[in-house]
Amino acid sequence: MRIETKVLNLPEGDFFASVSIFDHEDAKALFTIYDSWRLLCRLLNELNARSVNLPEGLSETAFCIAKNVWRCTSNIAGANSSYDCYDPNASRGNNRIQIKACSVLPDLTSFGPNSEWDRIYFVDFYRNGEWDGTFDIYEVETEDINNFPVNASQTLLDQKLQGRRPRFSIYKGLIQEGRYISKETFKITPEGILEV
């Protein structure tokens, strides 16, 4: 991993920002992190305790390597920086990426009231009910997320505009209904993130 300062082309203008850039050499560490996380979850379950949530550093790093994008973790003064990743190969208005991931189903995904993105992806690490290092990446329409009914009278966007933090199951509400743009499958291995 390299931490570099790059120019990000954002809706608010061009900004210098620190980003994490990963490559397949980072996959060995990611493989160890994945195995350690699963071991910790199994040991906790043996004590009748709840598993540890999927660490964002694991899901976002795996996504960055698979999709060849940068991870953004610092605030950018003068710009909304609530997204997770940045695609340096996309044009302005299509480069800010939000990642939502799950390791159990059904998922319960929350959205901050100030969250902004150009593209949103759902990453399923509990693919086919297994934790074997394989994960599916689904690109989802932003409009499908914003217009999703989170209760009888409000959409997700309605609640965000009220400053609330709405929640719903992306997998149950959209993925199982076939409401996604694309699906790709990858696997974390010591040799790299491999497309399956």
d(CA 16, CA 85): 15
pLDDT digits (tens, 9 = 90+) for 132-152: 999 999 999 999 999 999 999
Percent of the chain whose pLDDT exceeds 90: 84
- d(Cα 10, Cα 114) in Å, to the nearest integer? 16
- Residues of the chain below pLDDT 50: none
What one-character DSSP code corresponds to residue 163?
T
pTM for this structure? 0.94
Burial category of 77 from C-beta neighbours within 10 Å (exposed 0-12, middle 13-18, buried 19 and up): exposed
| Neighbour tally for 141: CB within 10 Å | 14
Give pLDDT, residue 79. 93
Angle between helices 56-67 and 27-46 (to 10 degrees): 150
Q: What is the pLDDT of residues 121-134, one digit of tens each?
A: 999 999 988 999 99
Comparing CA positions, the residue from 48, 26, 51 lying closest to residue 39 is 51
Q: In Å, how far are 23, 37, 146, 194 from 51, measured between CA atoms? A: 29, 9, 30, 26
